[in-house]
A and B are shown apart, each in its own frame.
Chain A
Amino acid sequence: DTAVSQTPKYLVTQMGNDKSIKCEQNLGHDTMYWYKQDSKKFLKIMFSYNNKELIINETVPNRFSPKSPDKAHLNLHINSLELGDSAVYFCASSPPNTVNGEQYFGPGTRLTVT
């Protein structure tokens, strides 16, 4: 009974393509996030989103956009993929009124751009 799930787990695609990664959480959380783990293993926040507010890390290119069809889903769309977009992308969610910022992570999607 997966709490935060992502599809696909692996994604291999060519430069210039547009792709999406899906994320779903069944925890009833109202805030979701996307993180990128680069080749040096650093985990960096990309977006924070709830039904009221989207917070974007200013370093994220506008080729990346989160789309939320409903509270349980936050998909990541990437346009015009570049080699440097190759990374593992993690979705996460957090409960309402979280105090310590605890988040629950999905298993990750390894994106390889060739």
Chain B
Amino acid sequence: DQQVKQNSPSLSVQEGRISILNCDYTNSMFDYFLWYKKYPAEGPTFLISISSIKDKNEDGRFTVFLNKSAKHLSLHIVPSQPGDSAVYFCAASEGNAGNMLTFGGGTRLMVKP
């Protein structure tokens, strides 16, 4: 039973355009949501997070939006760059569960020059 889902396994966008990666969750006890980026043969690296009490967090080209009523979050990358090509994982943490992360299945983003 997947508590965090990324329904798009892949996404292709043109350089300079916006990339929108989506994530849905079912567990209302999650208190933080995180996005990780992963290159082949490397471990995931942290990108940005958002508290469940916020609806937006921005860091440079990356913005995460949270719609708590819909149990949905999205990561916007604008403008997209070829170096952004990677697999993006959505993750959620529940503070009273040892901060273990529950991951979605990932979305492979390809940014074409």
Residues of A within 8 A of B (CB): 4, 31, 33, 35, 40-45, 48, 53, 55, 57, 90, 92, 94, 98-108
A-B contact count (CB 8 A): 70
CB distance from B47 to the nearest CB of A (A): 10
Tell me, rounded to whole Å, the shortest Cβ–Cβ distance linking B8 to chain A.
13
Of B41, B49, B106, the contact of A102 (CB 8 Å cutoff): B49
Q: B111 at the A/B interface (Cβ < 8 Å)?
A: no
Taking CB atoms, residues of chain A closer than 8 Å to B102 are 45
Per the bound structure, the CA–CA distance linking A106 and B106 in Å amounts to: 18
Q: A40-B105, A100-B93, A102-B49 are in contact. Are A94 and B41 (CB under 8 A)?
A: no
The distance from the CB of B13 to the nearest CB of chain A, in whole angstroms, is 21
Least CB distance, B42 to chain A, in whole angstroms: 6
CB distance from B27 to the nearest CB of A (A): 13
Residue-wise, chain B 31-43 has the 8 Å CB interface mask toward A (1 for contact) of: 0101010000111
CA distance A43 to B51 in the complex (A): 21
Contact A104 B100 (CB under 8 A): no
For A53, the chain B residues whose CB sits under 8 A away are 98
Residue contact A41 to B97, C-beta cutoff 8 Å: no
Flag if A90 contacts B34 (CB, 8 Å): no
